Amino acid sequence: MIIDKVNDPIKVGVLGFGGLGQAAARILAPKGEMVWVAAADRKGYAYNGAGLNPDAVINAYNQGSVGYLEPDGTLSNNTIQDLVENHAVEGYFLALPNLPNTFMADVARQFIKSGWKGVLVDALKRTSAVEQLLELQTQLEQAGITYLTGCGATPGLLTAAAAVAAQSYAEIHSVKITFGVGIANWEGYRATIREDIAHMPGYDVETARAMTDEEVSALLDKTNGIIALENMEHADDIMLELAGICSRDRVTVGGVVDTRNPKKPLSTNVKITGRTFEGKISTHTFTLGDETSMAANVCGPAFGYLKAGVALQRRGMTGLFTAAEIMPQFVK
Ligand code: NAD
């Protein structure tokens, strides 16, 4: 299938305006094929059909909410619903925390109920969160929504790379994802760090969600700012299984996050091991450049998948897709 070219600039919104949401706004600014028209946080939203200015919106957010933006902001206790029902946006990147673990599926239900038609892209991480969306597959399809899930870095970019690399083999033995993330301070990415803490021994999503900022800082003081994780519940496994690459038990994900240094503690990579048709066992390795940030490796793919989703949507293809079954398109 050749996916149609997207001709008109796509009107894009970003839900959630923390670390990733703000990076998303900056990534979109120089693009010609997408125009950033909407942003929402917990307390308000901003909309301008001709395009928003990232600096102005970040400034308003730092005062408490994007809803303070003059004259395009609106304060609200129901930001997502109010934005979606009142303004024309073709696709949204959901840069929202998945706390609790049912939050993203609840947001998807909200979109279905609203009667909105368009493209949704998330950067969900947990297998159980993607499983909840799978249950909404038919409803999304009938509602006219094209929903692409797991479209960040891992899952996302690295899962898609594994799906491509698998093609050399007759059988896939293992997919091993190892990520290194460096950020200057944890407050820039509160949801990401809480969700990572939820994978630490002795913690779960609910305990991590309930932690105050002071408790998170105290925990990070004890670990010297480092979170080291292995055998994480990560949706790369279910996505590769659904794409027919290998069973989920052959996929493992772990990594190290340094919350006090933007330099990566190790190079993010995915290793795909398999057997070729000649019987040789081999490993392909795809390694991300150390200079690329988490924000670049999450938001870049998210918009590439959003563009692909719009092409699908314009051909009448709706429902749920994962980053392992659709090729992202490059946004100019
Ligand atoms: P953050 O904590 O920096 O920001 C979250 C934003 O969401 C805030 O602006 C907050 O106001 C807003 N928000 C919260 N509840 C809301 C609601 N009910 N309505 C509207 N807005 C609401 O978050 P972050 O660190 O940028 O992370 C966002 C998500 O991205 C997390 O779930 C994280 O796990 C995910 N992530 C995925 C990958 C990947 O590779 N797949 C990598 C990093 C982060």
Query: What sign does the dihedral 107-108-114-120 (CA atoms) show?
Result: positive
Q: How far apart are CA 19 and CA 152, in angstroms?
A: 13
Q: pLDDT, tens digit, for every residue of 37-80?
A: 999 999 999 999 999 999 999 999 999 999 999 999 999 999 99
pLDDT at 4 over 90: no
- Which of 125, 199, 264 most suits a substitution to test ligand 1, by most atoms within 8 Å of the C-beta? 125
- Could you tell me if 34 and 331 are in contact, meaning their C-beta atoms sit under 8 angstroms apart? yes
The CA-based angle 300-147-317, given to 5 degrees, is 110
Residues in the chain: 332
Q: pLDDT, tens digit, for every residue of 197-247?
A: 999 999 999 999 999 999 999 999 999 999 999 999 999 999 999 999 999
pLDDT at 326 over 90: yes
- Which of 22, 122, 181, 189 most suits a substitution to test ligand 1, by most atoms within 8 Å of the C-beta? 189
Q: Which CATH architecture has domain 10-154+295-322?
A: 3-Layer(aba) Sandwich (3.40)
User: How far apart, in Å, are the Cα atoms of 261 and each of 5, 181, 221, 254, 258?
Assistant: 40, 9, 14, 19, 6
- Could you tell me if 34 and 9 are in contact, meaning their C-beta atoms sit under 8 angstroms apart? yes
- Could you tell me if 72 and 50 are in contact, meaning their C-beta atoms sit under 8 angstroms apart? no
Q: How far apart are CA 322 and CA 150, in angstroms?
A: 6
Residue with the nearest Cα to atom 1 of ligand 1?
18
**Structure tokens given for 172:** 């896939």
Residue 125: active-site member: yes
pLDDT at 1 over 50: no
Q: pLDDT, tens digit, for every residue of 132-182?
A: 999 999 999 999 999 999 999 999 999 999 999 999 999 999 999 999 999
pLDDT at 7 over 90: no
**Structure tokens given for 227:** 């979170």
Reported as type and span, the H/E element at residue 129 is helix 127-134
pLDDT at 8: 77
Mean pLDDT, residues 119-143: 98
Q: pLDDT, tens digit, for every residue of 243-292?
A: 999 999 999 999 999 999 999 999 999 999 999 999 999 999 999 999 99
Q: pLDDT, tens digit, for every residue of 73-108?
A: 999 999 999 999 999 999 999 999 999 999 999 999
CA of 153, closest atom in ligand 1 = 40
Q: How far is the CA of 184 from the centre of ligand 1 (A)?
A: 17
Q: Where are the domains of the chain?
A: 10-154+295-322, 157-290
pLDDT at 110 over 80: yes
Q: How far is CA 36 from the centre of its chain?
A: 17
Alpha helices in 167-247 (DSSP H): 190-197, 205-210, 213-222, 236-242
